[in-house]
Amino acid sequence: MDITLTSLETAHTELLSQKIMAEIASQGGWIPFSRYMEMALYEPGMGYYSAGAHKLGAGGDFTTAPELSPLFGAAMVETLLPILEGFKAQGLPTQILEFGAGTGKLAESILTRLHDLGFSLDRYDIIEISPDLAQRQEGRLKTLAEKLSLSTQCNWLSALPNNFKGIIVANEVIDAIPCDAIIYQDGFWYRQGVAVIDGKLAWSIATPVEQSLLPEALLTGNFSEGYATELHAPANAWMRQVAKHLDTGLFLTFDYGFPESEYYHAQRLEGTLMAHHRHHAIQDPFHLPGLCDLTTHVEWSQIARSALEEPIDDIYLSNQASYLLDAGIGDIALEVGDPSNPETFLPISNALQKLLSEAEMGELFKVFAFTKNLNNVLPDHSLEDLPGFRGRNRL
């Protein structure tokens, strides 16, 4: 694959590579892969998400569902609105908090749909680690507020508030949380790390992984020599914190991934770790540090177990297509577009195909949600009464 870099891009990735190599030297010649991934993505001013770069959309490195169509956020509103109305009926503030809001398109589509339905949201908070994306979000939402005369307060927070009452959403966030890389050799699981070999960043194996850290599927399955995969302790810890901080309301997230039985399938020999640059998938995680996005698929079974460590109500997992169809995305598409006009409806139809098709995002992407103390705002309602969650629960 031929990728031509500008002089600034070359200098950027070389500078971050040197910083990572210095970190490796200071740690005795080896760092865990999770630390490498953390630096490659989040090193202040240098990591992929913390340095200024165009990451999303047609000209970036990847495209997300909200970038494809505002129908994605509009369908989400069908789920969120009953809860928000429950808060409002009790005289409580109505608020949504979004993790990692990208360019702000999901927030824009949610706020626009709420406005179109006559609902005035009190607050829309965002937690965003990328300074350039936060700036783009602020500009987009300011323009929207002026256009629609919105009274919603938009705030950028550094941490999740304690005892949050409202709705927490996250689209393609968990996949970018640093993971541990492990490999099966000689009957044992070993933690993989990063060293400098012949002047380049490269894989290096360390000590065996403690059995207490391994999921049941890795302890009981039959794996071939050299089978590589990932462990997700930081993502699971993040999920526990979200469940702990949510006092009343709903958590809703979308991401690509598998339940444990599929994630750790014996035929998935090389795990799910992948780099992305300019819409190219790259298997080498050490390619262009700081310029490539690094992601892994989400292992949903352990994410669910982590949430269940807190006293939540109901929990749900399904594919994106089932969720969006049950939430009414088809009806919303007919509401905003005229099928008899191919010129205007074809882009809507194309976006729906990408969001719903099993060959596109419909099956690989999952929806995961849980509620906490929902009866405080919606008496006699469960999670599976809400639009989007009335289909088969894969948990």
Domains of the chain are: 65-173+233-263+292-385 (3.40.50.12710)
Cβ contact 212:257 at 8 Å: no
Band the pLDDT of 5: cuts 50, 70, 90: confident
Q: What is the dihedral of CA 152, 105, 135, 164, to 10 degrees?
A: 50
- The distance from CA 395 to its chain's CA centroid, rounded to whole angstroms, is 19
Q: Give me the mean pLDDT over the 139-156 stretch.
A: 97
Tell me which amino acid residue 382 is.
Answer: S
Q: What is the dihedral of CA 117, 123, 127, 132, to 10 degrees?
A: 80
Q: Which residue has the higher pLDDT, 9 or 54?
A: 9
Give me the pLDDT at residue 2, please: 56
Pick from 112-116, 129-133, 328-332, 372-376: least confident: 129-133
- Is the pLDDT score of 54 beyond 60? no
| Composition of the chain by helix, strand, coil, percent to 5 | 40, 25, 35
pTM of the predicted model, to two decimals?
0.94
Mean pLDDT of the chain: 94
